[in-house]
Structure 1
Amino acid sequence: MTSPHRFSIGPAGAEIAMLQRGERGKPPALLVHGTGFVADVWDEVARELASTYTVYALDRRGHGASHKPGAYHFLDFAEDICRVIDALDLRDVYGIGHSAGATDLLLAAKLAPGRFTRLFVMEPTAMDPRAARSGGLGDDSLSQIQRTLRRRAEFDSADAVFERYRTAPTFADWTETSLRAYVRHGFVPLENGRVRLCCTPEIESAMLRPIYEAMTQVYVGDVRGNPFGSLAEIDCPVRVATAAKSGPIYCEMARRAVSLIPQVSTLVFESAGHCVAQEVPAAVVEAAREFAK
């Protein structure tokens, strides 16, 4: 299989890095990764879907080769999705997303009505605005965000990253292909062979604050307000998937999304944790194709 075509959209300083698999002219599928990752973690899924779709995947803002502006509210990411759709003039898009990337697609469907034909979303980050709480983040959430700042950002080599991550709980069940793709494209080379995370601990910490606010039902948003009520206005079929080995908060947030979305169905991946597409890519491809029938 040939390497993906890499390009970017947007002006200098505001680029969204893209990759494409499959020939133009097929129905478009848009793949959106979760927090901390890159477009290439979809490698095994994208390769298979490229036989019937023109598959696009993007580095979300703050990640990979995309711009890192410091603005990381949910609507910022959703507006980036709309920029991609407009720049590529995509119609009847099959959106496939994971975690916060799944949220990007759900919110973009309201911002770009009629552009998506369906959405397959795995454990989206979501709150139920009907049950919002006041008071801001608690100490435990703030501690988790602060802990991200202590994450190691530089390593002696890409091989050193792979060996360390291979046994880390987050990545222990990833396929080797997925993990090597993340290590190759989620880090930037430095002098003397050293590498550094593209999504630095400072960037990831900034992204995690609104995510934890949504998790704990205290997200307010910026001047644009809280966008989660707009899930009730999504105009295409949505399948919300969860993973049996995932954490309870992910299933709870998926439940909230299901309660809001009108044309919704559900699916459980019995043999996977939160990073479904990197753990059981063949099962994700099968499920995505089944939902498209």
Structure 2
Amino acid sequence: MQDNDHAEALATMDDGATILLRRQGPPAAERVVISHGNGLAIDGFARFAGALTARGFEVVAFDMRNHGRNPRHPAAGSNWRRFIADLPQILRGIDTAFGEKPAHGAFHSLSSAVCLLTQAETPYPWRSLTLFEPPVPPNADDPAHAVFLDYHRNLSERAGRRRAQFDTPDALFASMRRSSLFRLVPDADLERLARATLRPAPQGGWELSCPPEFEAATFRIDEIVALRPGLGRVDCPVRLVLGDESIHYAHVLLDAGRALVRDFGFSAVELPLATHFMQLEHPETCAGLVAPDTPGT
């Protein structure tokens, strides 16, 4: 499906998985590529995408495999290694479907870490990367390292116990609304996120698009520790966006981001009154941080 302002295409990975690509905004404009965090879906970030198009960008969005609107594909080996293998193929699919042009990346959490790790191994000619709290562990000799891994092991255990079936999207929204993690996200954005993370279940009702066992495996982040030293090879402009320490519920993510700044010289900005879900909390402000080398940003 395609018109001047919206288009969709499929990118097929080398193991047969398919990734749905969505483009919106003026086709002749500079491109920003966006994706989401573990267990989420990029359609839930619609206000962030809209804020980018309002700033004059073309936006290309995609869900990570086994998330959002992508068909499920059997897990095979390491989730993280598979994500890192997928991203260059996704980017080639974007260039093939929508034309090659200079692009900026604006990625959240899981996808931001995948982008950074992939850039060290298979560089893409990004004009800039704006990465919202990438969960890359601090170096093994950093006191924050063990705390970071313990935090993510706990997240993995909790994700594995998540309820997978819901009668309606409103039921998931109500559950998310009760969580302190989303306390700063407006109702309309949280409702959108809840709907985006579900799909109709074969037996009726709704089910999580990202199965709990897949989300849990992705939170087992130990395996990317060995990949961290390669980030010294990243040579495109990188800006990290971190939340506000005074209200953040996961200081380990702030410690990890500051360690990336210290060890690799990336730039960073800490956003006041923001937590890990800052693109849902402050979409216009976050959009204004993207593509820092572009006039008017």
Shared topology, TM-score over 0.5?
A: yes
> Number of paired residues?
279
Deviation (angstroms), 1:196: 0.7
TM-score by length of 1: 0.84
Runs of at least 4 residues off by over 6 Å: 132-135, 137-140
2:8 and 2:23 in contact (8 A); partners too: yes
Residue in structure 1 matched with residue 199 of structure 2 by the alignment: 188
Asked if the contact 2:130–2:291 (Cα under 8 Å) also holds between the matched residues in 1, the reply is: no
Letter of the aligned partner of 2:10 in structure 1? S
Distance 1:278 1:139, change over 3 A: closer
What SS does the aligned partner of 2:73 have? Answer: coil
Matched, 1:117 2:127: yes
- Once the two structures are overlaid, the 10-residue window that deviates more, 22-31 or 277-286, is 22-31
Question: Which amino acid in the other structure matches residue 194 of structure 1?
Answer: G
Q: Which moved more, 1:148-157 or 1:69-78?
A: 69-78
| Cα distance change on mapping 1:114 and 1:194 into 2, 3 Å | closer
User: Are the structure 2 counterparts of residues 267 and 153 from structure 1 closer, same or farther at C-alpha, using a change threshold of 3 Å?
Assistant: same
CA RMSD of aligned residues (A): 2.8
Contact 1:157 1:195 (8 Å CA) reproduced:
yes
For the residues of structure 1 that align with 2:61 and 2:44, how far apart are their CA atoms? 10
Aligned-residue sequence identity (percent) comes to 24
Separation (CA, whole Å) in 2 of partners of 1:114 and 1:140? 31
> What residue in structure 1 maps to residue 64 of structure 2?
60
Unaligned runs of 5+ in 1: 214-218
| 1:75 CA drift (Å) | 3.6
TM-score (norm 2): 0.83
Kindly state the Cα deviation for residue 26 of structure 1 after the two structures are TM-superposed: 1.9
1:191 CA displacement? 6.0
SS in structure 2 at match of 1:30 = strand
1:30 is aligned to: 33
Mapped to 2, the partners of 1:251 and 1:25 lie a distance apart of: 36
**Gap change, CA 1:186 and 1:138, over 3 Å in 2:** closer
CA distance in 1, matches of 2:47, 2:201: 28
| Counterpart contact for 1:10–1:16, Cα < 8 Å | yes
Deviation at 1:72, TM superposition (A): 4.3
Q: Which of 170, 173, 179 pairs up with 1:162?
A: 173
Question: Once the two structures are superposed, what CA deviation does each residue of 1:131-168 show, in whole Å capped at 9, x if it has no partner?
Answer: 38999x98876454223222111111112222222222
Partner of 1:21: 24
Q: Which amino acid aligns with 1:267?
A: V
Structure 2 stretches lacking a partner, 5+ long: none
CA distance in 2, matches of 1:103, 1:140: 16
Q: CA deviation at 1:109?
A: 2.2
